Amino acid sequence: MTPAFSLSGISKRYPHFALQDISLSLPEGQVMGLVGVNGAGKTTLLRLLTGLAAPDAGEVRVLGHRLPEGQVAAKRDIGFASEDMRLYRTQSLRWHMDLVRRAFPGWDDDYAANLMQRFDLRADQPLEGFSHGQRVKALLLLCLARRPRLLLLDEPTTGLDPVARIEVLEALADVLRDERRSVLFSSHNTHDVEQLADAITFVHQGRLVASDDRHAFVDRWRRLLCQGAPPEGLSGWPEIASVRTSGSLVELKVRQWRDDLPERLAASGLQVQREEAMALEDIFITAVRSGAVA
Amino acid sequence: MKINFPVVRLLVIKDWQLFQKQLALYVLAGFVALCFIGLGKPWAFYVGSLMLIIVLVASACFSISTSLLVERKDKTLAFAMSLPVSPLDFTAAKLAGNLLTFAVPFVIILGGTVGVVLATPLPDGLVVYSLLVFAWIAFAFAVSLAVAMSVESEGWATFAMIGSMVLINPYLMALGQVPAIQTRIAQDAIVWTPEAVGLLAVLGGLGLLVLAATAWHHARKPAFY
Amino acid sequence: MELLLSASDPRPMYQQIVDQVTARVMAGDWVPGQALPSIRELAADSGVSVITVRRAYEELERAGVIATRQGKGSVVAERADLPGALMHEELRRQIEALLATAARLGLGRDDLHRLLDDAAHDARNPTTPGSKP
């Protein structure tokens, strides 16, 4: 089965930023969440995947097409919406829908009407009257109504009010029904990623920090509350991402949980009192701050 | 490298639809200018011809600025590039679209001007002279379009547009210094002197060359960014 | 078909799915042999990732609540005593937790029996709130 996309050994250099040695792929039918701080490289990665930018080194393949040579064929099956994309202010949503319908295969009028209703958008109003949230939803509608095989979304829920955000997430969830459709969306809102993503990729400073299926992250990372005195060099243990103390209470964030860890900690003088899973947001922040691989 | 004609056509139509109302206004203003010229009185002639030049220059700049500069500033470029187009298609569409939105009012007004000159008591020598003026505007347009397509900076593109158009003044003065052209203006006959024909050929040729070089340069880009 | 999942529930999503499906079966809402929605259908309807639903279904299958047939989806397991069996399973888990807590408090078997008798007595004769037990 062809992967939805694959990046091999990608490098891309800009005056003040560089993507280095990125290798990443997404099997067909999966949803991947791309998490990273602003400026980490998410937008550049997405541009490479839509053929808008060409890599300095490495190979980009999307839906079986090599980019940027095959970008026209690839773009027919890709739905791309990014945070800095704007529609033509003087025109209406209906004008844009006509343009998209004629430029792309697979437009579904009924589905578009359904989305318009769910998103509460007016077809014949000039877009300059739209609020930020309405503009984002309009962009998404233009992508979703074509049912593209690959959706590449740059920060689809950023800046949306809670109601609009849920509307967008519910529309994205529709894509899950079809095993041939895949989604890559970037966000710095880890809650959205946690809910919908099958696989999660962290990028930081132009490098791939980690990429795995979401349960693997949740299974590997733990937060431990311990009693005792932390031994020398505890923060140097490869499994330990961070150590914090408050009196005789010690909080450990573990990046590589193993069942024998409590024993080994006990042997070093730390009694594990509580063990809990970490939310993705916490994992991400800890990984970035501890400056190492997640 | 092949061009996707259906999508290019779609892009050109898109740009046309975005501007058609304003273009109609420019053509209308051009006709008003022609009415002034047609009155035959010296003052009306000056007013009309000045207005005509302004209309032509403005519509040329308008076409370039809305289809290229504003699109970059308004960030609608990203949306256009997400359509199934290659950089080659996009360049072709912008070139074709701009030439179209410039050429339509240009040709209409040119035809109108020639018609007015021939139909009214104005000396027919003005036909050759006005063609020389129109030729300069077309040349300035070609240069401005080439610059606007090639630079990222709105400032430089605007500078090229205004600069090349403003140079029409020294151009007209220089024309006035060439006796072969100057003496024919007031004559009531269309005379194609070698100087006039040569000038038309040079301006036309240079304009085409500039556009062709720009198109070729852009078509070789594999990706937009 | 939609399950009632919540992001603010402290249990992980797959656990919520497992618990709700189990609860429906225990209550008799879903009968043995009844087809479950496909993994993708449930994922799309509930707004949860496919991998999470898949994990929940795997757990449910391991626990014997559902059975998955190759290429034909999942159904509620064909065990006549399934609701009862599940409730016994739940009880066993609670007893284990009880014993673990008691051990941490250092209570012996007799103390536990005494606590059980007291609790049963209180359950039969509820005291009004505010009065001493």
pLDDT tens string for chain B (225 positions)?
A: 577 888 888 888 888 888 888 888 888 998 898 888 888 777 888 888 888 888 888 888 888 887 777 777 777 888 888 999 888 888 888 888 888 888 888 888 888 888 888 888 778 888 888 888 888 888 988 888 888 888 877 788 888 888 888 888 888 888 888 877 777 777 777 778 888 888 888 888 998 998 888 888 887 777 766
Nearest Cα of chain A lies from the Cα of B51 at a distance, in angstroms, of 28
> Other CB atoms closer than 10 Å to residue A265's CB: what's the count?
23
Say if the Cβ atoms of B81 and A52 lie within 8 Å. yes
Quick check: helix, strand or coil at residue C69? strand
pLDDT in tens, A100-118: 999 998 999 999 999 999 9
Q: What is the pLDDT of residue A253?
A: 94
Q: Which H helix or E strand runs over B117? A: helix B87-119
Q: What is the pLDDT of residue A247?
A: 87
pLDDT band at C38 (very low <50, low <70, confident <90, very high): very high
**What are chain B's partners, defined as 3 or more CB pairs within 8 angstroms?**
A
Contacts of C6 in chain A (CB under 8 A): none
Q: Which of A179, A195, A215 sits opposite C40 (nearest CB)?
A: A179
* C1 Cβ under 8 Å from any chain A Cβ: no
Q: What is the pLDDT of residue A5?
A: 95
* Cα separation, A97 vs A146, whole angstroms: 10
* Cα separation, C32 vs A55, whole angstroms: 55
Q: Which of A72, A76, A89 sits opposite B86 (nearest CB)?
A: A72
pLDDT of A80 strictly over 80: yes
What Cα–Cα distance (Å) separates residue A63 from each residue in A75, B79, B224, C23? 10, 21, 20, 42
Give the strand pairing for A57-62 and A5-14. antiparallel
pLDDT in tens, C98-124: 888 888 888 888 888 898 899 998 888
Q: What is the pLDDT of residue C1?
A: 63
Quick check: helix, strand or coil at residue A26? strand
CB interface of C with A, residues 7-66, below 8 Å: 7, 12-14, 40-41, 43-52, 55
Q: And the tokens for B41?
A: 């009185």
Best mutation target, B1, B15, B82, to test chain A (most A CBs within 10 A): B82
CA proximity to A245, closest of A261, A230, A262: A230
> Other CB atoms closer than 10 Å to residue A87's CB: what's the count?
22
Give yes or no for a cis peptide into A68 (omega within 30° of 0). Answer: yes
As beta bridge partners, residue C92 has: none
b/e per residue A230-248 (b: at least 16 CB within 10 A) = beeebeebeebbbeeeeee
Instruction: Check: CB of residue A186 under 8 Å from CB of residue A154.
Output: yes
Mean pLDDT for chain A overall: 91
Instruction: Check: CB of residue B95 under 8 Å from CB of residue B64.
Output: no
As beta bridge partners, residue A35 has: A187, A202
* Single-letter residue type at A157: T
Instruction: Check: CB of residue B152 under 8 Å from CB of residue B72.
Output: yes
CA proximity to C65, closest of C32, C17, C27, C29: C32
Please compute Rg for chain B using Cα positions: 19
Q: What is the pLDDT of residue C129?
A: 64
- The gap from C-alpha B26 to its chain's centroid, in whole angstroms, comes to 13
CA proximity to A192, closest of A159, A150, A147, A146: A159
**B24-31: long-range pairs with CB below 8 Å, 24+:** B26/B55, B26/B58, B26/B59, B26/B62, B26/B105, B27/B104, B27/B105, B27/B108, B27/B109, B29/B55, B30/B55, B30/B56, B30/B59, B30/B105, B30/B108, B30/B109, B30/B112, B31/B109, B31/B112
Contacts of A174 in chain C (CB under 8 A): 44
Best mutation target, C39, C49, C54, to test chain A (most A CBs within 10 A): C49
pLDDT band at A244 (very low <50, low <70, confident <90, very high): very high
pTM: 0.82
Sequence-distant (≥ 6) Cβ neighbours of residue B38 within 8 angstroms: B48, B116, B119, B120, B122
